[in-house]
Every structure is written in structure tokens, then in C-alpha cells.
Amino acid sequence: MDIHMVSIIGAVIAVCFGAIGPAFSEGRAIAAAMEAIARQPESAGTISRTLFVGLAMIETMAIYCLVVALLLLYANPFAA
């Protein structure tokens, strides 16, 4: 198994497991925001804006995994 094989497997694992955590937490955040909007529809604007900012923060974790995967696939420092 050469370094390219290992890089591909590493990229796959990074995206696979890196997506699980953000997916769960984004689901929880959206569920909480839905509940809040259902209770107080008049504050939907503020809630959804805060939700978007929060989702962007959570999503950052998944994006870091994407960066690692991209680096492994296209700019791997060990595969010269």
C-alpha cells in the first residue's frame, strides 16, 4: 500500500467521520430553532438569522475535514 492509497483512504475517513458530528449538531440546532419559531412566530427573523450564523459556525468543523481531504488528495506534502 503506497502513500497515494493511504492518502485516499485517509481523505475518505476524514470526510466520513468529520461529517457525522456537524450533521447531528446542525440537526439539533435546526430542531431547536423550529420549536422556538413555532412558539414565537413574531421573532422568526431574529431566530433564523442567529440560526444561520450558528449553522455556519458548526459547519466550519465539517469544512475543516473537507480541507484535510482536499490537501490529502491534491496537495499532499508527503506524496511529492
Here the cell at position 13 is 475517513
Count of alpha carbons within 13 angstroms of residue 6, beta-carbon side: 6
DSSP for 20-50? HHHHHHHHHHHHHHHHHHHH-GGGHHHHHHH
Question: How many residues bind another protein, per CB under 8 A?
Answer: 17
Q: Is 34 or 43 the residue whose CB approaches another protein more closely?
A: 43
Residue 64 contacts another protein per CB under 8 A: yes
Stretch that binds another protein, among 6-14, 20-28, 31-39, 67-75 (CB under 8 A): 67-75
Q: Applying CB under 8 A, which residues contact another protein?
A: 45-46, 49-50, 52-53, 55-56, 59-60, 63-64, 66-67, 70, 74-75
